[in-house]
Structure 1
């Protein structure tokens, strides 16, 4: 394999790569993020036998580079996550949101929860374990856990449900590890009981969304909007409103809100947890 050098990106190469990422994912990369491009794309260059990111960029400028473009976009997708990350939304879901929805949906006996930008799956698997642990009355319900991400590579990993020791140490209580995971070499694999509850799909938020994301009861869209322009945020929130039920619930990240973006959601707060209700 070719050794990839860590030479600094030229302005022309940065501008080209930033536009590519913007066009395909709507993720905005400011000039100050040059270091992020370099750290994320050096491994891509090595994997594809390029000697530098400059060589990688030259290849991207040529026709028929779609597969390479996808590798770059996948690499630039932020995949930071953990089990029960920022525990408060999960506590609210368990204590208030799900009990309310179970009462309202008693006749339908169906719930749909969507985890967007699911990364390697810890968020949606946390929800699945919560349902198994705390809501035995849902055993015969139609529980639809949808998990989506832009990166096909990370989705493939999420669907396998295999995590290293560091990943299971981040936020996952020991009793849940022992109950819902088993050893797989030096890794941990989530049990089929939990894994089978989740359906993973590739979704680009700025493109058409699949029909499976309709009549959703709870939407997790956490730490996603921060990467987009205000106009793109408005577009995404409008599409969420079209798909979330009138009595549903939207969770955003701790640094995100709907202010000056939409009047179709109202902010609510319980203790330390902020969430949004459709209007």
Structure 2
């Protein structure tokens, strides 16, 4: 792959997915795209770049985006965002949404499903307090392949050992040979669907809680600002945004305020602060 061909690939990925691929990541692109070449019977990465530039092979374009998308995730990843949900956000919304008895949560980069299923298990554990409520968990991703895997709720031994408490594994999973499947009652709590964050998502409506974690780090500054602007409009008044441990809105967007009590938690600028944990819910983790 020549420098010019790599630039074609970088421009394609930026336009199609928002991914900002640094010039020193050519080795990563080459390692991930060689299997794509084999799958489409392309003799070289140079040929792949020419096909992308021609814009005539949509299946190939999709495969390239899929190959370059990072899908690292695991159950209760980083713990803190789920402790915040359990001990701070749910007690708050139990009070603030008492009249409507409705709660909408969005996982904006759901990957293979461990994040939304972690949320669903927390909510299942708190079901008695939310009796009669309408709770929606929307989980989206740019990769159709990982969405299909997520829908099955099937994970191997390594995947269920990463972050998942043994008590919840026993309670909500059934073993099938070398794999485990999360129960139908948990799977039914999550609505999975395709979404490219650089495209319009206003049709999804507004959410009380948005998990947009470990995805903006792959975007350039302008794309981050654009996505965060539209995420802000997708948040209901009093809503909460949770981002990854290495992410921040500081210096990126003035549409959010950070919460001094919780790292990675943000509210819309002008909304009241979330406040300290109240620990009203029974522990699930």
1:208 matched residue in structure 2: 200
Offset, 1:210: 4.9
* Deviation per residue, 1:179-211 (Å, 9 max, x gap): 111123321111110000001111111111152
2:215 matched residue in structure 1: 224
What runs of 5+ residues in structure 1 fail to find an aligned partner?
A: 1-8
Separation (CA, whole Å) in 2 of partners of 1:251 and 1:178: 28
* Deviation per residue, 1:146-176 (Å, 9 max, x gap): 0011111111111111111111111011111
Separation (CA, whole Å) in 2 of partners of 1:10 and 1:184: 47
1:238 matched residue in structure 2: 229
User: Compared with structure 1, are the counterparts of its residues 139 and 48 closer, same or farther at alpha carbon in structure 2 (3 Å cutoff)?
Assistant: farther
1:91-130 → structure 2 map (5 Å cutoff): 91-130=83-122
What runs of 5+ residues in structure 2 fail to find an aligned partner?
A: 270-285
Q: Which of 231, 256, 261 pairs up with 1:265?
A: 256
Q: Which of 268, 271, 276 pairs up with 2:266?
A: 276
Separation (CA, whole Å) in 1 of partners of 2:232 and 2:86: 23
**CA-atom RMSD in angstroms:** 1.5
Offset, 1:135: 3.8
Separation (CA, whole Å) in 2 of partners of 1:177 and 1:190: 8
TM-score, reference length from structure 1: 0.92
* Deviation per residue, 1:188-247 (Å, 9 max, x gap): 1111100000011111111111522x2200000111111111111111111111110121
* Deviation per residue, 1:68-93 (Å, 9 max, x gap): 00110111111010100000111011
1:50 matched residue in structure 2: 42
1:150 matched residue in structure 2: 142
Offset, 1:63: 4.7
Offset, 1:139: 3.9
Q: How many residues align?
A: 269
User: Secondary structure at the residue paired with 2:174?
Assistant: strand
- Answering whether residue 165 of structure 2 is matched by residue 173 of structure 1, we say yes
TM-score, reference length from structure 2: 0.90
- Answering whether residue 51 of structure 2 is matched by residue 59 of structure 1, we say yes
User: Secondary structure at the residue paired with 2:266?
Assistant: strand
1:3 matched residue in structure 2: none
